[in-house]
């Protein structure tokens, strides 16, 4: 378990890692561990509040216990350049009286003026792509795919599928026309066959006589 070097709360993971996908909400869970024998209040802030939903964004962690915070990134229509994210998160923590309940946690508790023991930890956001996941962020397996290759492969397969469908339709049309032509010429085809057989019989007889 990895934790940031905060005095009050241990935070795992030390980075918010999102397996990036367009047009899809993605969540990441933070585990906060109270390292003290006191009750600790926390508050989570971000530089992009409209982009992320944090639940709960504040609360209480009992002494020597843990609490989970779920950070959800809203569906994104575009990928950032080079898949680099500049968003940051700030986890504030402060020792508070044991009588304090989560709904009573306010921003004023995390200021120096409050007189509380206050701690702050900054977290960065990392977008995981197929290549970074294959490097060990997910299952530790090796790989060489980059973010663009799967998209290009899907596009190529779709083009090939469309071409195959068009070719299949064209062959069906030609087959139907051929069947119609054979049906119209069926009577004439039988007469030609009889004539061909008769000619071959005459030639065979001539050769045998020789």
pLDDT digits (tens, 9 = 90+) for 165-175: 666 666 666 77
How many residues does this entry show for the chain? 210
Of the pLDDT bands very low, low, confident and very high (cuts 50, 70, 90), residue 199 is confident
Query: If you average pLDDT over every residue of the chain, what do you get?
Result: 80
Q: Which residues of 101-138 are buried (b: 16+ CB within 10 A; e: fewer)?
A: eeeebeeebbeeeeebebbebebebbbbbbbbbbeeee
Of the pLDDT bands very low, low, confident and very high (cuts 50, 70, 90), residue 129 is confident
Q: Structural domain tally of the chain?
A: 2
197 and 116 together in one domain? no
- Give the CATH number for residue 17: 2.60.40.10
Q: Which domain holds residue 114?
A: 9-128
Contacts of residue 120, Cβ cutoff 8 Å, sequence gap at least 6: 6, 90, 91, 92, 93, 110
pLDDT for res 42: 97
39 and 114 together in one domain? yes
| Cβ–Cβ < 8 Å for 85, 77 | no
Highest mean pLDDT among 5-14, 106-115, 130-139: 106-115
């Amino acid at each position: 378990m990895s934790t940031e070097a905060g005095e009050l709360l241990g935070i795992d993971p030390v980075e918010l890692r999102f397996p990036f996908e367009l047009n899809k909400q993605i969540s990441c869970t933070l585990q906060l561990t109270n390292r003290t024998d006191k009750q600790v209040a926390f508050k989570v802030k971000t530089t992009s509040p409209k982009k992320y939903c944090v639940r709960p964004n504040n609360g209480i962690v009992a002494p020597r216990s843990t609490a989970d915070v779920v950070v959800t990134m809203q569906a994104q229509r575009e990928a950032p350049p080079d898949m680099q994210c500049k968003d940051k998160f700030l986890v504030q923590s402060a020792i508070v009286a044991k009588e304090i309940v989560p709904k009573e946690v306010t921003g004023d508790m995390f200021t120096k003026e409050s007189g509380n023991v206050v701690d702050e930890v900054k977290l960065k956001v990392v977008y995981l792509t197929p290549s970074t996941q294959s490097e060990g962020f997910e299952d530790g397996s090796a790989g060489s795919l980059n973010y663009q290759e799967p998209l290009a492969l899907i596009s190529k397969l779709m083009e090939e599928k469309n071409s195959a469908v068009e070719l299949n339709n064209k062959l069906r049309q030609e087959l139907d026309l051929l069947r119609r032509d054979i049906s119209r010429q069926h009577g004439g085809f039988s007469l030609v066959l009889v004539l061909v057989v008769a000619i071959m019989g005459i030639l065979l007889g001539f050769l045998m006589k020789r």
